[in-house]
């Protein structure tokens, strides 16, 4: 079987059919084969959410992986694979000793939380590594006004003088990411730099409760508040799709700047909610609340991954992904993301406290939901 598929692939390529593989079932096969060349990969980071998935795929493809961390964060997913990874200890703030006089083929900078950190590692590694992949964020597009969320959009790189104080943390993060992208390119040059700007990352190993909240909520069923219009667009990226694509970009030396957002079509809130619910089938009644003033008053404007209704966040779910798709990003179905996330959520990797807090904790939105629904019913009268 394998041989036949391989033959199909090489025949397809010979016939110039490569673009057809993008949507072909054979594409998946092509991606899980070992890479032609084994790479020495350095990951700055590696032990939180995205890193472990990059490691899993890289090892599966026959690469060697070193990670650089402070040794504080304990991996919660793919834990057994860490025996096969070289662990370098240091601190991006003030100790890069273990990275000196070493060579790798490529580096992935996941842990860049200060521009200075990326400037320093890029300078240190520029002669000892071929390619530098910087994990940025779609937050570089903040504030999300307007309609152009392609990679060509001009970025904010200094804090606007008139910034609203409540926006400053979001600006700071986006500006730090934008300047770190520039620092990467300044050292490695455009032909040796890869910049990936992920949207909201979801999937097994998530350290936030954003996506797990909605899985748990929809599985529980009953009256569920859905903020915003049914036809708003939803974007997210499964951590595995993102991690695997990043490794393939490095294997194929595909440089440039890419939005890492999915899915591959314009998914509405309605499709998203029903897509999640298809895995559960619990009795459910959606209460769609689309009045912006009511949402604001009840602090329902920031419930992700639904689009955030405030104008400066509206474009957050409208990032273009054509360039990334052309460079090999593909998307597993929502049902696979839901099922894998749920399996992990109910495994030993997640504490009972974390699981129960989502449902019953004092900060749980579920505790407020019935009260808000009553107010909404009064508001509509």
Ligand X SMILES: NC(=O)c1ccc[n+]([C@@H]2O[C@H](COP(=O)([O-])OP(=O)(O)OC[C@H]3O[C@@H](n4cnc5c(N)ncnc54)[C@H](OP(=O)(O)O)[C@@H]3O)[C@@H](O)[C@H]2O)c1
- List residues binding ligand X (CB under 6 A): 43, 45-51, 69-73, 91-93, 110-112, 135, 137, 198, 200-201
CB of 41 to ligand X, least distance (A): 12
Full DSSP string of 8-49:
HHHHHHHTT-GGGGGGSHHHHHHHHSPPSS--EEEEES-SSS
CB of 290 to ligand X, least distance (A): 25
CB of 237 to ligand X, least distance (A): 8
Q: Report how far apart, in Å, the C-alpha atoms of 357 and of each of 44, 79, 202, 361 are.
A: 32, 24, 19, 4
For residues 125 and 355, give the distance between their C-alpha atoms in angstroms, rounded to a whole number.
41
Nearest Cα to Cα of residue 201 among 238, 235, 234, 244: 238
CB of 123 to ligand X, least distance (A): 16
Contact 327, 254 (CB under 8 A): yes
* Residue 170 burial (CB count, 10 A): 16
For residues 42 and 194, give the distance between their C-alpha atoms in angstroms, rounded to a whole number.
14
CB of 72 to ligand X, least distance (A): 4
CA angle 205/237/76 to nearest 5° reads: 10
Report, in this order, helix, strand and coil percent for the chain, each rounded to 5: 45, 15, 35
> 30 vs 183, which CB is nearer to ligand X?
183
> 71 vs 160, which CB is nearer to ligand X?
71
Contact 57, 244 (CB under 8 A): yes
> 200 vs 226, which CB is nearer to ligand X?
200
CB of 356 to ligand X, least distance (A): 23
> Which H or E element spans position 223?
strand 222-227
CB of 67 to ligand X, least distance (A): 7
> 9 vs 55, which CB is nearer to ligand X?
55
CB of 381 to ligand X, least distance (A): 39
> 117 vs 188, which CB is nearer to ligand X?
117
Residue in the structure block whose two tokens are 């986006």 = 174
> 129 vs 201, which CB is nearer to ligand X?
201
> 75 vs 228, which CB is nearer to ligand X?
75
For residues 52 and 228, give the distance between their C-alpha atoms in angstroms, rounded to a whole number.
34
> 50 vs 233, which CB is nearer to ligand X?
50
Structure token pair of residue 105: 């083929």
* Residue 214 burial (CB count, 10 A): 23
């Amino acid at each position: 079987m394998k041989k036949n598929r391989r033959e199909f692939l090489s025949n397809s390529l010979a016939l110039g059919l490569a673009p057809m593989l993008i949507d072909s079932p054979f594409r998946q096969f092509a991606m899980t084969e070992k890479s032609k060349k084994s790479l020495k990969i350095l990951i700055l980071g590696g032990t939180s959410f995205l890193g472990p998935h990059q490691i899993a795929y890289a090892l599966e493809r026959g690469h060697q992986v070193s990670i650089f961390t402070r040794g504080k964060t304990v991996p919660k997913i793919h834990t057994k694979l860490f025996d096969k990874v070289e662990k370098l200890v240091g601190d991006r703030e003030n100790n890069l000793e273990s990275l000196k006089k070493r060579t790798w083929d490529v580096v992935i900078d996941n842990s860049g939380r200060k521009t200075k950190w990326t400037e320093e590692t890029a300078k240190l590694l520029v002669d000892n590594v071929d390619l530098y992949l910087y994990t940025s964020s779609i937050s570089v597009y903040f504030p999300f006004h307007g309609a152009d969320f392609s990679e060509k959009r001009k970025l904010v790189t200094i804090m606007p003088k008139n910034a609203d104080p409540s926006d400053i943390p979001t600006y700071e993060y986006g500006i730090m990411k934008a300047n770190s992208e520039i620092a990467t390119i300044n050292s490695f040059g455009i032909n040796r730099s890869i910049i990936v700007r992920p949207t909201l990352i979801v999937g097994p190993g998530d350290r936030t409760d954003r996506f797990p909240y909605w899985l748990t909520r929809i599985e529980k069923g009953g009256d569920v508040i859905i903020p915003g219009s049914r036809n708003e667009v939803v974007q997210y990226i499964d951590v595995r799709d993102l991690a695997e694509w990043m490794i393939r970009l490095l294997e194929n030396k595909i440089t440039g700047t890419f939005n890492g957002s999915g899915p591959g079509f314009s998914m509405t809130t309605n499709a998203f909610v029903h897509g999640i619910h298809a895995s559960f089938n619990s009795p459910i009644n959606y209460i769609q609340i689309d009045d912006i003033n009511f949402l604001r008053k009840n602090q329902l404007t920031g419930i992700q991954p639904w689009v955030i209704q405030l104008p400066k966040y509206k474009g957050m779910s409208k990032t273009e992904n054509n360039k990334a798709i052309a460079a090999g990003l593909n998307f597993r179905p929502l049902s696979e993301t839901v099922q894998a996330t749920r399996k992990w959520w109910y495994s030993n990797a997640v504490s009972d406290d974390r699981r129960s807090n989502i449902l019953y904790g004092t900060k749980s939105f579920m505790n407020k939901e019935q009260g808000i629904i009553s107010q909404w019913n009064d508001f509509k009268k």
